[in-house]
Amino acid sequence: MIRHLAPVIYGPTVLFALGEGAVIPLLPIFAAHLGADVPTAALVASALVVGQLCGNIPAGWAVARIGERITMAIGGAVALLGVAGLALAPNLLVLTISVFVIGLSAAAFGLARHSFMTTRVPLVFRARALSLLGGTFRLGMFVGPFVAALLIGIFGDEHATVWFFAVCLIAAVLLVLLGPDPELQVAVPRTSPAPRSDAHLAEDSGEPVTGAIPTPERAGVFRTMWRYRGVLARLGVAAASLSAVRSARQVVLPLWGVSIGLDAQTIALVVGVSGAIDFALFYASGQVMDRFGRLWAALPAMILMGVGFLALSFTHDLPQAAMWYALFAAVLGVGNGLSSGILLTLGADVAPQDDPAPFLGSWRTLTDAGGAIAPLLFSGLSAAFSLSVATGAIGVVGLLGAAAFVKWVPRFVPRAAGGDAG
């Protein structure tokens, strides 16, 4: 049934990510047109991440009360307001608010589908389904910039990408509202009572879990955060370290290329190849997690990215710096590709299966915070010391995250029948 409804389940996410992927690279340009300098343009672009952070918990509240479908439709409509602001912004303040609103909507889209897959997909192939969901985001972000380049070439105006985003949003909302409702057509699978992870969560929080997990009306978002503070403070922090390393990769690679004297075309080629490797491996992560366990995807991914950043930090002044740059960019692409869907899957594994949305809102806020903090950490260390020191520090974060996954995944993640999820 899920395979039959795949276009309705994954289609809106692909459309949203495709439009977003076309616009995101041009946000600094839009800001520059309104008089922003480089630091201000970076601040405008960062409003997207801030919007996602702020939107996760409200999105969890909305999904718990009005359902995934209506939440996605409202999120799409709100995103259209943000897109209109991008197109018509008379000043930097309006532009920043518009980017922030799009971030809020992205949180609603992402959490709604995450919650749906958590409750409807059986544990035995959950990782493959969620890796495919993660792959839809990657597809949009990978293809979107090429679409943007094509549109600019045809129309000669960067705002053509904004109108393309608007068309994608309208199509996504229509698909959500007019297509078959997956929430009604895909039944929630029966699960055995009291999964292994629930016992551990109850132990950590000091509250024994008996019978069904309380509904959001009884527990609420913030009660849910408190109840599951143990897993959020441990496995959640490990997941945040993965998000941090991923986010840092998007900052480190372009800056490293500039620092060693490469031209923009070469940097774009290296980053593009790294992104292509990343996208090509997204489904392999799900296969590994379902067949061998979550740890066997998370651990190699974190080790590869941690070692990749550390090794790159020693190559800045070498004679073949460009060659090493291309090599370790590919290594980082492999590591990031192998981690596709891990954060989604781990969140689904430890969330209350009856009403996951409030927990997932907290989980996604924590992981997004890791992604938001990493560029700030990198910038601070680069300013205080050097680019190499900052890059090496990101590598250390990756290796510490790998150790945290080894420690906490076997404790919190349930076992699939006939296999080990840890």
Q: Token digits for 143?
A: 């293809």
Angle, nearest 10°, between helix axes 126-155 and 92-120? 150
Taking residues 287-312, report their average pLDDT: 89
Enter the pTM of the model.
Answer: 0.70
Give residue for tokens 């996951």. Answer: 356
Give yes or no for a contact between 189 and 320, defined as CB atoms under 8 angstroms apart: no
Question: Which is more confident, 160 or 196?
Answer: 160
- Span 99-148, pLDDT tens digits: 999 989 988 888 887 777 777 777 676 777 777 777 777 787 778 777 88
Which 8-state DSSP code applies to residue 211? S
Checking if the pLDDT of 380 tops 60, the result is yes
Give yes or no for a contact between 106 and 55, defined as CB atoms under 8 angstroms apart: yes
Q: Give 6's Cβ-side CA count (13 Å radius).
A: 7
- Ordered structural domains, the chain, with CATH: 6-185 (1.20.1250.20), 196-412 (1.20.1250.20)
Q: Token digits for 383?
A: 């300013």
Checking if the pLDDT of 220 tops 70, the result is no
Closest CA to 251 of 374, 344, 167, 365: 374
**pLDDT at site 181:** 65
Taking residues 63-83, report their average pLDDT: 88
User: Cα–Cα distances in Å, from 45 out to 15, 86, 246, 265, 371?
Assistant: 21, 12, 17, 22, 14
Question: Which of 1-15, 195-209, 280-294, 324-338 comes out lowest in average pLDDT?
Answer: 195-209
Closest CA to 111 of 297, 415, 368: 368
Helix (H, G, I), strand (E, B) or coil at 391: helix
Checking if the pLDDT of 55 tops 70, the result is yes
Give residue for tokens 């599951």. Answer: 228
User: Cα–Cα distances in Å, from 378 out to 10, 58, 315?
Assistant: 34, 29, 18
Q: Token digits for 153?
A: 């070439």
